[in-house]
């Protein structure tokens, strides 16, 4: 079974493939980080992971048989728990259609708080994903609100332009009417002067 098959195997119990993949990644990442830091990760009934120091030594090349100097190094090691060993050896039988019973570790049995680190890492990843989802939802909501607001603003601007145009047109019409009314009023004095000239001519004729 590889990692992908492991994710598929627990997908139904985790509520989906993505949740299962996140859980597997979080657990493995926490175990690796704890072991690299020198902590011992122990799961009662399953086994323990730890960092082991190997001193410098001599070894033989299996192809040539030559003696080779090997430098000091550190390697990870997994030790199966007694419950795991009993199930593999056949001393105990696996439960049908259920989960393997793993006893809870007593308080203080985990070195360096590795179990707490695993839980915290998983919780942080889930929280980060939820926060990212909330941000995306908020951005979409803001974009939806902004679009109607822009439309309303554009409508208001168009309405203002129409009103201003109507006002200017009305003012021009009123100005034309005023000009038309004033024009005949100026011609009236000309008629009076003509009447006066006619009267003067008649008076002269009588004389």
Instruction: Please give the domain boundaries of the chain with CATH numbers for all domains.
Output: 3-145 (4.10.520.10)
Distance CA 80, CA 43 (A): 9
Q: How confident is the model at residue 94 (pLDDT cuts 50, 70, 90)?
A: confident
pLDDT higher than threshold 60 for residue 20: yes
pLDDT tens digits, residue range 175-185? 676 655 555 54
What's the confidence (pLDDT) of residue 110? 44
Average pLDDT over residues 6-35: 94
What's the confidence (pLDDT) of residue 75? 95
Q: Does the model's pTM come out above 0.75? A: no
**How far is CA 44 from each of CA 7, 41, 54, 104, rounded to the nearest angstrom?**
22, 10, 26, 6
What's the confidence (pLDDT) of residue 204? 61
What's the confidence (pLDDT) of residue 108? 47
Q: How confident is the model at residue 96 (pLDDT cuts 50, 70, 90)?
A: confident
What's the confidence (pLDDT) of residue 112? 44
pLDDT higher than threshold 70 for residue 129: no
pLDDT tens digits, residue range 40-91? 999 999 999 999 999 999 999 999 999 999 999 999 999 999 999 999 999 9
β-strands 73-80, 67-70: how paired? unpaired
What's the confidence (pLDDT) of residue 69? 93
Q: What angle do CA 85, 90, 92 make, to 5 degrees?
A: 80
What's the confidence (pLDDT) of residue 16? 93
Cβ atoms of 40 and 77 closer than 8 Å: no
């Amino acid at each position: 079974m590889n990692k992908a098959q492991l994710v598929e195997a627990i997908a139904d119990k985790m509520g989906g493939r993505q949740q299962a993949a996140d859980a597997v990644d979080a657990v493995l990442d926490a175990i690796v980080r704890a072991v690299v830091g020198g902590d011992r990760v122990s799961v009662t009934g399953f086994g323990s992971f730890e960092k082991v120091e190997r001193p410098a030594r001599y070894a033989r090349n299996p192809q040539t048989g030559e003696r080779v100097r090997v430098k000091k190094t550190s390697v990870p090691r997994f030790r199966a728990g007694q419950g795991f060993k009993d199930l593999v050896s056949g001393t105990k039988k696996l439960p049908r259609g259920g989960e393997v019973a793993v006893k809870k570790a007593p308080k203080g049995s985990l070195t360096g708080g590795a179990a707490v680190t695993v839980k915290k890492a998983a919780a942080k990843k889930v929280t980060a994903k939820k926060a990212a989802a909330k941000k995306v939802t908020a951005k979409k909501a803001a974009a939806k609100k902004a679009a109607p607001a822009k439309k309303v603003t554009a409508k208001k601007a168009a309405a203002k332009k129409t009103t201003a145009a109507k006002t200017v047109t009305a003012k021009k019409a009123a100005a034309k009417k005023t000009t038309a009314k004033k024009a005949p009023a100026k011609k009236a004095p000309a008629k009076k002067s003509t009447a006066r000239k006619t009267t003067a001519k008649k008076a002269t004729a009588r004389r």
